[in-house]
Amino acid sequence: MTQPQQFVAVTVPEEQEAGVYANLLAVWHTQDEFTFDFAVKQPAQMGESEDGTPVVHVPARVVTRVRVPPGQVFEILKALNENMTHYEQAFGEIRRPS
In angstroms, the CA 98 to CA 96 distance is 6
In angstroms, the CA 78 to CA 86 distance is 12
Closest by CA position to 64, among listed 11, 14, 22, 12: 22
pLDDT by 10-residue block (mean), the chain, 98 residues:
89 95 98 98 93 94 98 97 98 89
Q: Kindly report the length of the chain.
A: 98
Tell me the domain boundaries of the chain: 21-91
Check residue 83 and give its pLDDT.
98
Q: Rounded to the nearest 5°, which phi and psi values hold at 76?
A: -65, -45
Q: In whole angstroms, how large is the CA radius of gyration of the chain?
A: 19
